[in-house]
Amino acid sequence: MIHPSAIISPDASVADDVEIGPFAIIDAGCSIGAGCKIGAQAWITGNSQLGKNNDIGYGAVVGALPQSIGFDPATASGVIIGDNNTLREYVTINRSIYAGKNTVIGNDNFLMSVSHVAHDCILGDHNILANNVMLGGHIEMGNRIFLGGGGGFHQFVKIGSFAMVKGNASISQDVPPYAVACRDNELASINVVALRRAGFDAATRSEIKNLYKLLFRSGIRLSDAVTQAEESEWSEAASALIEAAKSPSAKGILRKMS
């Protein structure tokens, strides 16, 4: 189960059934849960904690130093990864820049080849990052999001649940929940396919569409659109759009139409 060329620190915690490939490295302070597979030449470092049944691909690096000028390598920070995640070849996940803090990956995420998750990002569950997706630091992602290949995402932005961002997009503002974003900070539509696949009924989908139009397509100033929206009753699912509009990151939220 463990290739003889693998290097595993005696101060690492590795479950009995973990598979570790040739020349992989598991550093001190790291923990690898049951059922995990660590590919050849992968490197798990920086106090990274992996849950169960994670598949770490060839040459992936989890827990390396954040790419932040002035970072002190002695800072005790880490990465926390949940269960059932797949990191394909050469994926990189950097640890937090803050002592005692972590970059966090939830459960059932699929990070395709050469995608990058920078320091202090927080990813929810069931997200897909296609090849070469680049997440800057401090990004917050919800659940069941698809990010197209080659997309670049500026630090501190938020990406709402059930959103989709098309390939090669350049995003430096928040992506609302349920939305499709593309190109240079442009909104295209509601992600209807994702809503149907997730089991949202027709009434809820209609609510989301109507609220999306009011907040992001009406041409009304966003604060006024939020005030108008709050005069009506909405389902919990639709209300997520209002919350995203009311509490954006410092970068603001996308409104430009494609």
Residues catalogued as catalytic: 119-120, 137
**CA–CA separation, 187 and 209 (whole Å):** 13
Dihedral sign for Cα atoms in the order 191, 188, 251, 231: negative
- Edge-to-edge strands, sheet with 186-190: 19-20, 37-38, 55-56, 86-87, 110-111, 128-129, 146-147, 164-165, 179-182, 186-190
Output the CA torsion 226→231→235→241 (10° steps).
Answer: 0
Give the number of other CB atoms < 10 A from CB of residue 202: 9
76: tokens are: 């005790």
CA dist 242 and 239 (Å) reads 5
Question: What region, left, alpha or beta, does residue 43 occupy, with left being phi > 0 and alpha being psi -120 to 50 degrees?
Answer: beta
The tokens describing 178, both together, are 């349920």
The one-letter code for the residue type at 240 is A
